[in-house]
Amino acid sequence: MTTPTSLATDEARTRLHELTVIDVRTPGEYAGGHLPGALNIPLDQIRRALPDIRHAAGHGDVLVVCASGARSENACKILAENGVTAATLSGGTGAWAADGHELHHPQGSSRTSWGMERQVRLTAGVIVLLGLLLGLVVHPAFQLLSAGIAAGLVFSALTNTCGLAALLARLPHNRPRAADLDKTLAALRNR
């Protein structure tokens, strides 16, 4: 395989026609805009898709994409542990869009969704406010909710992981429909 560990957006754009692009964001984030031709396989479904990704990798280079690069790096590690070489897009779809490259939207996609980072910020903010409010009105011990979220955010920044995002990814609006994932896996098999 000739693909380096990461590709800059301009290099990825020029090679897009020869790459199998896998977007590991949630279906909602994917619907909000993705690289042209990208196939949506959420990070938590990568292991299920391994045989089909391995098949596609046998026919060309694989590029893994997410919003900023953290989830795609995790996906590349999982793939590497299973003998599949893949690269990640430096800066993710955020960098792709910032560099002026076009994002595509699924046909017939009418739902507008929030990216995972925005969902995490909203949830964390609500829990912090709730902890503070309940601490004032009910009992000061409820302020521990706010402290727990603060500790989680620090841990998230230090480890470049996010437990809250992993939890939110399991909500129904962030889950792929079985038929959509099966269609994506079939597309990989046909590469």
Catalytic positions:
66
Distance CA 70, CA 160 (A): 7
Q: Identify whether the C-beta of residue 27 lies closer than 8 Å to the C-beta of residue 170.
A: no
Distance CA 74, CA 43 (A): 8
Q: Which residues of 17-36 are buried (b: 16+ CB within 10 A; e: fewer)?
A: eebbbbbbbbbbbbbbbbbe
The DSSP bridge pattern shows strands 62-65 and 87-89 to be: parallel
Helix and strand numbers (H, E) in the chain are 9, 5
